[in-house]
Amino acid sequence: MASSLTKDSVSPGTPGSEKTFFGHPRGLATLFMTEMWERFSYYGMRALLPLYLVAPGGLHLSATTATAIYSVYLSLVYLLALPGGWFADRVLGPRRTVAVAGLVIMLGHLTLALPSSGTFYAGLGLVAIGSGLLKANISTMVGHLYDGPDDPRRDGGFTVFYIGINLGAFAAPLIIGTIGENVDWHLGFALAALGMALGLAQFLIGRRHLDARSDLVPTPLSAAEKVSTLRKAALWAGVAAVFYGIVGFSGHYTLNWILVPLTLIGLIIPIMVIARIKRDKELDQVEQSKMSAYIWFFIAAAVFWMIYDQGGSTLSIFAESSAENSVFGWEFPVSWYQSVNPVMIMALAPVFAWAWLAMNRSGREPSTIVKFASGLLLVGASFFLFLAPLSIAEGGHKAAALWLVAIYFVQTVGELTISPVGLSVTTKMAPAKYASQMMGVWFLAVTAGDATTGLLSIAGVGLNGMGVVALEATLAVIAGFAVYMYRNKVKSLMGDVR
């Protein structure tokens, strides 16, 4: 996509003479392109990951193990957004942290491109670390481009930025997926590295257009804190090295020695973070009440993401083995299904934004809690719909591709009632003391949901079985009805937030 930079026909130095990006600060072009290429690399690799894990020419793992690895990987990406934000706030600042993140992600994809199972897992770890560092900070830099929350261009700027995310996510499976599946898996991962390299180059070239605040370290570590942090990090790294050294040399090491601890961390840390904030005696009564309400939204989101993120694992693995991946006789790679969601997001997001405004003007806009309940009902309905192609496959036939497209469509509609609404309500309900941390807390709902999926897979639960799919769908629908039934209680806890 062209950057479409324009310049007003006035003399230099006069107000309004600076170059803009669709009427926004020029730095938005830098961040737009950086995020687009980073999402290109991330979603391309993600589309290939479960297929490579089960493929005879890949790691040839079972579907349950592949789903466990995929789910743990996703949970780590969102979990690491918290330390990623801390690292920028205390050590490097957002701009330098994003530059480091891009380099780490690129190295991770290059490591994935090496034909070795040992380096493959190291590559996954590097991509997760880099994504956590980047995710927490690039949106912060978009905010820095504007004059505070009341700048009338701010919402539009984030909308343009969001388009970049979905453009990258849409193109990645079509390009990286095609090369990875039809030519060579490792070449596909190498293309993901190329995408991140382009994003990093764009960022370094255009960094001069970013706001000066992006270079600042808001609360730098003191010398004593640096020493203490390094000592603790070295201690825990030493403990892990000794422990896994003993397990490895004793001959007892299996993949679960890594997966189980990471899965438990993905479940325990979100609970600990929420509990710590809730127990904070410095919060006043109104803030405590809002946090009690927020727990409802957090749990609802975790249930939603537990099912939704299986679109890249359970549904993808099903499509690879049991779907007729063709339209009107034209066959396409399985990874292309992962482009369905971003293209639908780009088509439907403006419609939803318009609909919420129109209903608000007439006093009929659903409350946040009703939107969340709708999202849960929709994601539950998507898995009830999944029962149809599962039944067709059990009968010995290939399920039509449109069944899967329909499932992704229902999930996308559900996403639009939960994801942007959840981001908004998080900022509105955050206690003043935790205003900068609450977005990371919101991401922990994704961590908890994916960690739950990982734990089920590690336990050997086949998530593409009709009984398990029906159970998950029922759980989401029950959760949706529960949220709706208690909507008045939650509204009262929310205070002045609507």
The DSSP result for 31-50, as a single string, is HHHHHHHHHHHHHHHHHHHH
Q: Return d(Cα 309, Cα 449) in angstroms, integer.
A: 8
| In contact, 365 and 353? CB cutoff 8 Å | no
494: which DSSP letter? H
- Percent of the chain topping pLDDT 90: 60
B/e letters for 230-262, b = 16+ CB within 10 Å, e = fewer, are eeeeeeeeeeeeeeeeeeeeeeeeeeeeebbeb
B/e letters for 199-214, b = 16+ CB within 10 Å, e = fewer, are bbebbeebbebbbeeb
Query: How does residue 107 score in pLDDT terms, banded at 50, 70 and 90?
Result: very high
Q: Return d(Cα 196, Cα 99) in angstroms, integer.
A: 11
Q: State pLDDT tens for residues 55-106.
A: 998 999 999 999 999 999 999 999 998 888 888 888 888 899 999 999 999 9
| In contact, 453 and 67? CB cutoff 8 Å | yes
Q: Return d(Cα 496, Cα 498) in angstroms, integer.
A: 6
Tell me, what's the pLDDT at 130?
95
Tell me, what's the pLDDT at 2?
39
20: which DSSP letter? E
- Percent of the chain topping pLDDT 70: 94
Q: Return d(Cα 114, Cα 176) in angstroms, integer.
A: 16
DSSP string, 231-260: HHHHHHHHHHHHHHHHHHHTT---THHHHH
Query: How does residue 433 score in pLDDT terms, banded at 50, 70 and 90?
Result: confident
Residue among 175, 457, 444, 178 at smallest CA distance from 314: 457
Query: How does residue 13 score in pLDDT terms, banded at 50, 70 and 90?
Result: very low
Ramachandran assignment for 62, one of left (phi > 0), alpha (psi -120 to 50 degrees), beta (any other): beta
Residues 6+ apart with CB under 8 A from 340: 405, 408, 409, 412
> CA 397, 400, 405, 407: dihedral to nearest 10 degrees?
-40
What is the chain's percent helix, strand, coil content, to nearest 5? 75, 5, 20
Tell me, what's the pLDDT at 14?
36
Please, is 193 exposed, middle or buried when counting C-beta atoms within 10 Å of its C-beta (0-12, 13-18, 19+)? buried
365: which DSSP letter? P
The mean pLDDT of the chain is 89
Q: State pLDDT tens for residues 351-394.
A: 888 888 888 888 888 888 999 999 999 999 999 999 999 999 99
**pLDDT tops 80 at residue 164:** yes
Q: Token pair of 44, please?
A: 């391309």
- Secondary structure of residue 8 in the 3-state scheme: coil
Beta-ladder partners of 91:
none
114: which DSSP letter? S
Mean pLDDT computed over 228-249: 92
**pLDDT tops 70 at residue 288:** yes
Q: Whats the size of the chain, residue-wise?
A: 498
